[in-house]
A and B are shown apart, each in its own frame.
Chain A
Amino acid sequence: GQQLNQSPQSMFIQEGEDVSMNCTSSSIFNTWLWYKQEPGEGPVLLIALYKAGELTSNGRLTAQFGITRKDSFLNISASIPSDVGIYFCAGQLDGGTSYGKLTFGQGTILTVHP
């Protein structure tokens, strides 16, 4: 089956630093999603990407859908303590029975020191 390789597995940064994480896949996806999960909560959607090459921002977050459709990255600029959490990438194929079936990465645990 499809697998997503997300890196890094964890990051320890100082407040104000920029953060970058990425996901690569052995096969293509038509949709890339980035979620954040805080302790005791379910994942919350941050950014959705639907076209190869697409670059989308949401406040201090920026994500890109790779041209090959096999990768995506997420950048967080000027990190703040509330950015702490686990960030997941997820990919989805289109069409037929593929809708609704997300493949998730292993997650990146982000710790921000004040």
Chain B
Amino acid sequence: GQQVMQIPQYQHVQEGEDFTTYCNSSTTLSNIQWYKQRPGGHPVFLIQLVKSGEVKKQKRLTFQFGEAKKNSSLHITATQTTDVGTYFCAGHEGAQKLVFGQGTRLTINP
């Protein structure tokens, strides 16, 4: 079955530094979704990428979908303490099943 690998598993940064997490799929994805889970909370949908090579921005967050639609990245510029949490990518296997990566846990030193 489809596998979605995410690296790194953990990342600790100083506040103000940039952060990037990478997502790789064993198969071509129809789309990729990104979720954020705050400590003690539940995943919250951030964005969906559909097109090959697509780049989307949300304030300090930049999301990219690879040309081959098998990889994706999330980059945060100038991290803030509110960015703390675990970031998950997820790709669809078929029409309904969403396969999640292991997540990247981001901690920030203020």
Tell me whether A and B are bound partners. no
